[in-house]
């Protein structure tokens, strides 16, 4: 099982969006049984709370069933997750730096990538420019924008993971 976690600040806006978008994309690509996507926050400020209502509204607007998203509860990124994960997707540059600082080993630091680094339209941008701003401080336009930036990166993540899984299964045969 390939394990991914999307990480933002409190795990109530951007990272849940990424979690559900990635899960849908892996299912659509026939990889849902081989990939598990979770999300977390670099802080525990929102731990145990549901996603922001505006996040929920955005996901519902894009056809995510309420029954799938209603049970979601925010959680903090815990140090033991480094060893359990294959890919850690930071939603902004500050999250990237925070996660890199917390990583217990160089191998764990290599697992951390900015989500937008998988968006071909963002190729050539400096890491500092690849963040997705926190929509929590804004209105629905900000949630729409976050969703658009997340979904633009999703195909690249799926392609990357599919290649890793193909290589792993080819190595075992």
d(CA 34, CA 41): 24
Nearest CA-CA partner of 88 in 73, 75, 99, 74 = 99
Catalytic residue among 8, 13, 21, 54: 8
Which residue out of 13, 14, 54, 108 is catalytically annotated?
Answer: 14
For residue 14, indicate whether it is catalytic.
yes
The yes-or-no answer on residue 134 being catalytic is yes
The active-site residue out of 36, 49, 109, 134 is 134
User: Whose CA is closest to 154, among 76, 85, 87?
Assistant: 87
144-165: burial string, b at 16+ Cβ within 10 Å, e else? eebbebbbbbbebbbeebbeee
Residues taking part in catalysis: 8, 14, 134
């Amino acid at each position: 099982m390939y394990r991914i976690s999307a990480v933002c600040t409190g795990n109530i806006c951007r990272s849940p969006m990424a979690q559900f978008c990635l899960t849908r994309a892996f299912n659509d690509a026939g990889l849902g049984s081989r990939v598990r996507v979770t999300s977390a926050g670099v802080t525990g400020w929102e731990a145990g709370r549901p996603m922001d209502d505006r996040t929920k509204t955005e996901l519902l607007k894009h056809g995510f069933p309420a029954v799938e998203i209603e049970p979601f509860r925010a959680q903090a990124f815990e140090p033991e997750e480094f060893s359990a994960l294959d890919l850690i997707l930071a939603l902004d540059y500050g999250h990237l730096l925070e996660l890199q600082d917390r990583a217990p080993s160089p191998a764990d630091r290599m697992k951390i990538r900015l989500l937008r680094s998988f968006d071909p339209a963002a190729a050539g941008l400096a890491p500092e420019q690849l963040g997705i701003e926190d929509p929590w401080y804004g209105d629905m336009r900000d949630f729409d924008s976050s969703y658009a930036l997340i979904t633009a990166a999703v195909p690249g993540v799926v392609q990357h993971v599919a290649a890793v899984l193909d290589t792993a299964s080819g190595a075992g045969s």
